Amino acid sequence: MLNDPKKSLVIFSEKAYMGIVAETYERVSTETGGLFLGKFHQGTWYVLETVDPGPNSVFQPAYFEYDTPYVNHLANKIERFYKSGLQLLGLWHRHPGNFRKFSSTDDGTNYEFARRSPNGAISALVNLAPDFTLTIYQVDNPLRYTQIHYLVDDSLIPPDFTEQKTAADFLPMQKLDVLPSAVPVSKPAKPRWKPRLWANPNKIRSWNLFPAFRKSQSRIATKPMPLVAVTTSPVQPVVAVHEVRLDANMRAPIDSLLDMVDNELVFLQSQMDYKYSLNLQNNELIVSMNYIHQMEYYPKKLEFAFGMGQVGGYARIDGNKFRYTPNFIMEKIYHSINNYYTKE
């Protein structure tokens, strides 16, 4: 059901409004723009955050193009700090002079935003002619524009919308206990990565599996790998990684595989958009990923299989096999996001 534009209103946080003004005057000689993040509630658009267009955007006097990977990344990072989450509400960009109509290219972009939400979207034009003006339109599907009013006032935004998470929301409720190895190692290899303290239990459990391979690979053929246990909150039982034995013929392929996907593991550890698990199956590393935020353009579930073949490393996804290239997971996510915006 479409909103009644006559009753619609946009309320900006002071921070969000300042972001529009600052970006406009930083790019005073060219077009520029950004995204609106916030909440829609009972006919009111609450814009809590704005996302700048990114360093690789195309800035020209009469043309502008977003740095898509950047804005997708930053929008998702900002959203995770809000307890109730944020929604992608719409976008803004500057037009030259006093031109306050959307171009045909703008129409296509606005339609894509509007059709992905039952509430439609908002799209704004900024002009410097010579003073700063902001004109906001509600965009409905089918494509229809209605100019609506806006206010800048933090006190008009419901406190529940602005409440942000604390460090305690990211720290796990679990206490991590790692049983010591029964096999002393004279010079343990330094793990290339560490589990983040705020990672989910599955992530911590998975990350501890691989340093164990590294540190004891010279003895693992004759001794079982120590159990890695995660002591969780009272609601959840203790979870343990099963013992794994690798014979001499398996050590080299596994070691080569871990070397190959080292950059993938670093990426997984550094990102906070997906819960993920890592498993070894038939000499392949299986990476299962589930998206945990609310940005609809991110792929929700992904599963990758990495392995070593006779001619080098490979990656499998959705039943298709590819020659492995570094940053395979990140590139797949970006490719999926780009497809979201270009599909008809």
- Token pair 């700048």: residue: 52
What's the rounded Cα separation, in Å, for the pair 11 and 25? 22
What whole-number percentage of the chain has pLDDT above 70?
73
Cβ proximity of 223 and 245 under 8 Å: no
Confidence of residue 6 (pLDDT cuts 50, 70, 90): low
More confident residue, 237 or 66: 66
Q: pLDDT digit string (tens) for 250-288?
A: 455 677 888 888 888 878 877 778 888 888 888 899 999
Q: ω into residue 130 within 30 of 0, thus cis?
A: yes
Average pLDDT, the chain: 77
- By the 10 Å C-beta count (0-12 exposed, 13-18 middle, 19+ buried), 318 is classed as exposed
Q: pLDDT digit string (tens) for 101-126?
A: 888 888 989 999 999 889 999 999 99
Residue 119: closest CA among 12, 41, 16, 9: 41
For residue 271, what pLDDT is reported? 77
For residue 49, what pLDDT is reported? 97
Confidence of residue 241 (pLDDT cuts 50, 70, 90): very low
The amino acid sitting at 131 is D
More confident residue, 97 or 240: 97
Q: pLDDT digit string (tens) for 280-339?
A: 888 899 999 999 887 777 889 999 999 998 888 999 999 999 999 998 998 898 888 878
Residue ranges, comma separated, of all CATH 3.40.140.10 domains in the chain are: 5-162
Q: pLDDT digit string (tens) for 118-160?
A: 999 999 999 987 889 999 999 999 999 999 999 999 999 999 9
- By the 10 Å C-beta count (0-12 exposed, 13-18 middle, 19+ buried), 280 is classed as middle
Confidence of residue 343 (pLDDT cuts 50, 70, 90): low
Confidence of residue 206 (pLDDT cuts 50, 70, 90): very low
Assigned CATH topology for domain 5-162: Cytidine Deaminase; domain 2 (3.40.140)
For residue 83, what pLDDT is reported? 92
